[in-house]
Chain A
Amino acid sequence: MDVVEAVQNYVSKMVNEVAGMKVLLLDSETVTITSLFNPHYIKSNELLDKNDDSDGKQTPIISNVMTQSTLLSHETYLVDRIENRNRDRMRHLKCVCFLRPTTETRQLLVEELKDPCYGDYYLYFSNTLKKSAIERLAEVDEHEVVREVQEYYADYCAINPDFYSLNLGLPNYPLYGISPTSWDGKTFQRTVEGVLSVLLSLKKKPAIRYEGKSSMAKRLAQEVQYQIQQEGQLFTWRRTDTPPILLILDRRSDPVTPLLSQWTYQAMVHELLGINNGRVDLSEVPDIRPELREIVLSRDQDPFYKKNMYLNLGDLSANIKSYVEEYQSKTKSNMNIDSIADMKRFVEEYPEFRKLSANVSKHVALVGELSRLVDKGNLLEVSELEQSLACYDQHANDLKSLQKLIQSTNVSENSKVRLVILYALRYEKSQNMAIDSLLDLLHRNNVSDHGISLIHSVVESASADKRQDDLFAREGFFARSKTVFKGLKGAENVYTMHSPQLTQTLELMIKGKLKETSYPFIEGVTKDRPQDIIIFMVGGVTYEEARYVAQLNASTAGVRLVLGGTCVHNSTSFLNETEDAFCRFIEGLAAARAARFGRTPKQRAV
């Protein structure tokens, strides 16, 4: 169960099967395959940029899987996009097309086949192809250039071996449809296809469980089950000891995790800077060197990143220090060249050294920027309060520090809003909840109305009665004692005490103790302990959860987990999505909100 390897296999199979000189033709969604891995390969980066400029609507699906050199070793000498109509005619080349079967790409392919640029065409589609589409393509293939038509189910973004995303986000794929509990039609379709392709690429025919309270999770579960039955032939392979589980969850059950500040490398970069298809935009950073404007973070090509992606900032800084020291010692050894042997060694080691030097400067710049942002936003203090809000019931203390932080000037508006949201979620049912006075305070400290409306939206969308499990484990004596123990255990680091709801769910599931009443099966029931679990989170996952899943994978023998979701959230994107959904339903909810929050803050301020 390794999604990166699964996609890699597909792509290498594609370029392997066709012998001879060839060109790889991609569409706007499959294009990231090559671009990610080789920042020095300008052509494909150009392809990507062109794509970004020209048609703003693009969701590249496959990433992290192929390097330019691997492609070259398979005699793939050219990579181009099918949208580009000005391709040179090279009839001596064979063409490998890897496309997502959408109406647009089909039209482009029809045009391409009417006037083919290359000698032979091998068509690979990333998802199931309709019969009508095959017929349409066959009709236009008058030159009889098509040699192969196949479906290779690599229809998702593989980020880590146990982490995938469908990259569905605003503005092209809004999550919610006509109400905050229903799917947007297009997004739903795409999600179903994505989940099916994950199952097919991993060869799993799962028993589906879903979060009982979420109607969106249920709908998705039903549709996936229906599709599996429809495509019965595709899903027939050897039986496993116990059926793999597809667990469909809803982000709404855990609105806390995406709101917290992150301190582990991968999660932190995404929270503060944003990782977009493995690339990080550093152009906003002051005094950045031009070659570091945009950097690539890839597990496969960057051993330092692979080693440190799950470490927190403290450990990371120590590691980066030793990394720099290693670099320095190498520089020194390169300085003194006294003999011919030294020269020879230098020449041999130079390429490796260059690579190291580029990598060192990349990570130093990145970590430097991270710590600058931490200082600027006073994030340590903010995070301490966040963790306290997320983990403990200490109303008086929390309220006091919250008020202090709202009044302080070096905390960003975004952080203030997030803190108040966390407070509102934590003490939603508490009697002395002082949300009104906090909203007042926010208003007086020049937080925009936009920010304040965000608080309403999130609390509205993820209030306690919409969540599946008791997120804050407040009720009952046992729950309370558990939190005490949790507190004792996690005392080592104040900033990483919180563990996502997902961990608890998964631990129960691995033990075979996840309640069937709250997480029902769609069809059939198994009491066995699961061995393979595929998780899909409707409404997006976070890197924090990815880290926990990676930890679980490493620590539990015999159980394999793969996590994924509609997209990868950081706090900004999460708030944006919730807000987008709730602006649209605002009229219907105005009444409910008035009842909840009393008068609007503006009126109170007067």
Chain B
Amino acid sequence: MSSLSDNTSFSSSSTPSTSFLATNSHRESLIFDDSSSLQQLECPICNETMISLRQLNQHLDDLHGDTSVDQKDGILNWFKNAQSTIGKQLSKTTPLAKNKLSSISKDLSQTVISKFSELDVGAVLDEQPDYVTKAHWQKESEHDCCSSAGCDKMLNLKHGRQNCRKCGKLFCDSHCQLQMRLNKQAQHDPVDGLWCRACEDCYQSREGYLDTRGVVRTHTAAFVKARHKGLEKAHLEGNRLEKRLEKLARLYATPAKPVISGNPSLTPPLPTLKHRRRASEQSIVKWEDDASVTNCPICGNSFGKITNRKHHCRLCGRVICEKCSSKVSLNLNNCSSESEQDSVGEVRVCRECRTAVFRHVKISRKEYNDEIAKQPHIVLLYQKLTKIRFAIDATLPKFQDMLDMLQNKEIVNQTHADYQLAARTRKELLENFAQFDSISKKINALPKANDSEKREEKIRQQVAVLVEQKKLVEGYIQEASKKRKIDDVKTLKASLDELEIEINKKKKELGELW
């Protein structure tokens, strides 16, 4: 009889040891209770009903071929169950035969089981278990509810009963349909994981699944590097040209070189001086050959003999036209200051060299820096305003908490430390509010003068002048027509028309500004 008791213990499938092996043990227990299980073969994994063993085999191969170990477990379990039911059925027959048969069946089953386990062990020894761990699964009980928030379905045959393979909680069928890849420790593994059933929360909590922050790429470093390089290059070039300018200045400062004899500074034959200068200028930078250039390299205009004459830039030596060059006064002490004082002479310099040399003293740049440094009044006020806003934002919730706390504890005693603290905070807040208010009023009262308004003002004045002129001209016309000077009237009328057009244009501009 001992064998029988063994068998019956198998059949009580609600014990945890077997329940975690079978995916849907509640169904099994139900089915095994009604004693028709031999006819009704069930797949141990998905519980699908089969007609014959062959079909079951086929089914196992087809659908559960890949999860071999899982399946083995299942088969083992099923086998035990089936065996127990056989025992049960047999128990209804004569006790003697039953005894005999059950012992046979037990022997049989044990041999089969041991064979199976050997197989299993072989597989296990070869590699780690190939299935996702089930150790963390929620134990089943009689009254399980779906763990999904807002779903209170009882877990039974109708709604199904599923463990999320990741978190292990129990769910109804509809809330545990999703699939994700898990490794053996039931952790998410998108690369080598196995596809497993998962609940919605686990599915969505996969890293990056709900990420809505798009990709960003910054080029700031490359930009700064390029800018730095560019600036450095320009700086070097500027320095080089500046050196040349210095040399030129020195050259011009010593105009009368006692070259041959006597005192040439007294009667310097002009052409010779010019020629000598030219030669020494060319020693500083090599001049481009006149004949090789037909167009100005900067503006592209072609040169002519009389109209658009060729000039040389004294700093880079290129041939340029008059328009693209200008005279720069030479200054001994500070070449690139561009001041007229202490000038020792002038040289022709092309536009590009000019900007390169005077780059770092460019007026616009200075102006620019000044402008940044000189913040308008509104900015200062605004900064104060934001500071106060921050302070208020920080203290207000704290104060709220304090109030709640006081209310809860029902502290009305004015000498209580908490009460006093709250009072102080309140005072602070009120002060901040008052300041905030006054500053915003100040900002509101600021004059609204900006560029566009200035422009507008200017155009208004122009319009006023034009209107005045128009009136005058109208007066003239009347006078002229009184005196019957028809020609004068004609010319005056023409100018009147012109004036009107101009006024309309200006008015339109005004309209656009508004």
Shortest CB-to-CB span from A555 to chain B, Å, is 12
Shortest CB-to-CB span from B392 to chain A, Å, is 15
Shortest CB-to-CB span from A241 to chain B, Å, is 5
A116-B368, A149-B218 are known; give 5 further A-B pairs, CB within 8 A. Answer: A131-B222, A152-B214, A153-B216, A240-B190, A557-B200
**Interface status of A470 (Cβ within 8 A of chain B):** no
Which B346-376 residues sit within 8 Å CB-CB of chain A?
359, 364-365, 368, 371-372, 375-376
Q: A91 to B371, Cβ gap below 8 A?
A: yes
Give every chain A residue within 8 A of B379 (Cβ-Cβ).
21, 92
Task: Name the CB-closest residue of A to B208.
Answer: A238
15 A/B residue pairs, CB under 8 Å, sorted by A: A2-B212, A88-B451, A119-B372, A138-B229, A143-B368, A147-B220, A149-B222, A151-B219, A153-B215, A200-B214, A203-B208, A203-B211, A234-B217, A238-B207, A557-B200
Given A134-B226, A149-B223, the answer on whether A89 and B216 have CB atoms closer than 8 Å is no
Stretch at the interface among B24-32, B93-101, B172-180, B425-433: B172-180
Which B205-249 residues sit within 8 Å CB-CB of chain A?
206-208, 211-220, 222-227, 229-231, 234
Shortest CB-to-CB span from A1 to chain B, Å, is 8
Task: Name the CB-closest residue of B to A143.
Answer: B368
Q: A91 to B368, Cβ gap below 8 A?
A: yes
Shortest CB-to-CB span from B284 to chain A, Å, is 27
A90 to B181, CA, bound (A): 56
Give every chain A residue within 8 A of B219 (Cβ-Cβ).
129, 134, 149-151
From B181, B195, B220, B371, A148 is in contact (CB under 8 Å) with B220
**Interface status of A356 (Cβ within 8 A of chain B):** no
Shortest CB-to-CB span from A49 to chain B, Å, is 13
Give every chain A residue within 8 A of B261 (Cβ-Cβ).
none
Shortest CB-to-CB span from B263 to chain A, Å, is 49
**Interface status of B191 (Cβ within 8 A of chain A):** yes
Most A Cβ at <10 Å: residue of B207, B216, B225, B451? B216
Given A88-B451, A92-B379, A142-B365, the answer on whether A6 and B226 have CB atoms closer than 8 Å is no
**Interface status of B452 (Cβ within 8 A of chain A):** yes
**Interface status of B450 (Cβ within 8 A of chain A):** yes
**Interface status of A304 (Cβ within 8 A of chain B):** no
Given A142-B365, A149-B220, A241-B193, the answer on whether A6 and B212 have CB atoms closer than 8 Å is yes
Q: B215 to A234, Cβ gap below 8 A?
A: yes
From B203, B223, B234, A558 is in contact (CB under 8 Å) with B203
Shortest CB-to-CB span from B61 to chain A, Å, is 19
Q: A138 to B215, Cβ gap below 8 A?
A: no
Give every chain A residue within 8 A of B359 (Cβ-Cβ).
142
Shortest CB-to-CB span from A235 to chain B, Å, is 8
Give every chain A residue within 8 A of B180 (Cβ-Cβ).
241
Given A148-B220, A150-B220, A241-B190, the answer on whether A143 and B365 have CB atoms closer than 8 Å is yes
A91 to B364, CA, bound (A): 13
A88 to B454, CA, bound (A): 10
Which A106-141 residues sit within 8 Å CB-CB of chain B?
115-116, 119, 128-129, 131, 134-135, 137-139, 141
Please encode chain B, from 441 to 462, with 1 for each CB lying within 8 Å of some chain A CB and 0 for all others: 0000000001110000000000
Q: B230 to A241, Cβ gap below 8 A?
A: no
A201 to B216, CA, bound (A): 8
A202 to B179, CA, bound (A): 21
Shortest CB-to-CB span from B401 to chain A, Å, is 24
Task: Name the CB-closest residue of A to B376.
Answer: A92
Please encode chain A, from 3 to 33, with 1 for each CB lying within 8 Å of some chain B CB and 0 for all others: 0011001100100000001000000000000
From A88, A128, A202, B452 is in contact (CB under 8 Å) with A88
Most B Cβ at <10 Å: residue of A5, A90, A131, A529? A90
From A149, A241, A529, B206 is in contact (CB under 8 Å) with A241
Given A129-B219, A238-B208, A557-B200, the answer on whether A9 and B214 have CB atoms closer than 8 Å is yes
From A13, A139, A200, B226 is in contact (CB under 8 Å) with A139
Give every chain B residue within 8 A of A240 (Cβ-Cβ).
190, 206, 208
Give every chain A residue within 8 A of B371 (Cβ-Cβ).
89, 91
A147 to B193, CA, bound (A): 45
Shortest CB-to-CB span from A127 to chain B, Å, is 10
Q: A9 to B226, Cβ gap below 8 A?
A: no
From A10, A89, A144, A241, B451 is in contact (CB under 8 Å) with A89
Which B389-404 residues sit within 8 Å CB-CB of chain A?
none
Give every chain B residue within 8 A of A200 (Cβ-Cβ).
214-215
A148 to B216, CA, bound (A): 12
**Interface status of A419 (Cβ within 8 A of chain B):** no
Give every chain B residue within 8 A of A116 (Cβ-Cβ).
368
Task: Name the CB-closest residue of A to B365.
Answer: A143
Shortest CB-to-CB span from A117 to chain B, Å, is 10
**Interface status of A146 (Cβ within 8 A of chain B):** yes
Task: Name the CB-closest residue of B to A202.
Answer: B214
Shortest CB-to-CB span from B154 to chain A, Å, is 21
Give every chain A residue within 8 A of B215 (Cβ-Cβ).
153, 200-201, 203, 234, 237
From B214, B218, B376, B382, A203 is in contact (CB under 8 Å) with B214
Shortest CB-to-CB span from A290 to chain B, Å, is 20
Q: B375 to A92, Cβ gap below 8 A?
A: yes
A115 to B213, CA, bound (A): 34
Shortest CB-to-CB span from B108 to chain A, Å, is 41
A10 to B222, CA, bound (A): 22
A128 to B229, CA, bound (A): 23
Q: A154 to B214, Cβ gap below 8 A?
A: yes
Give every chain A residue within 8 A of B226 (Cβ-Cβ).
134-135, 138-139
Give every chain A residue within 8 A of B214 (Cβ-Cβ).
6, 9-10, 152-154, 200-203
**Interface status of A239 (Cβ within 8 A of chain B):** yes
A459 to B223, CA, bound (A): 53
Give every chain B residue within 8 A of A89 (Cβ-Cβ).
371, 451
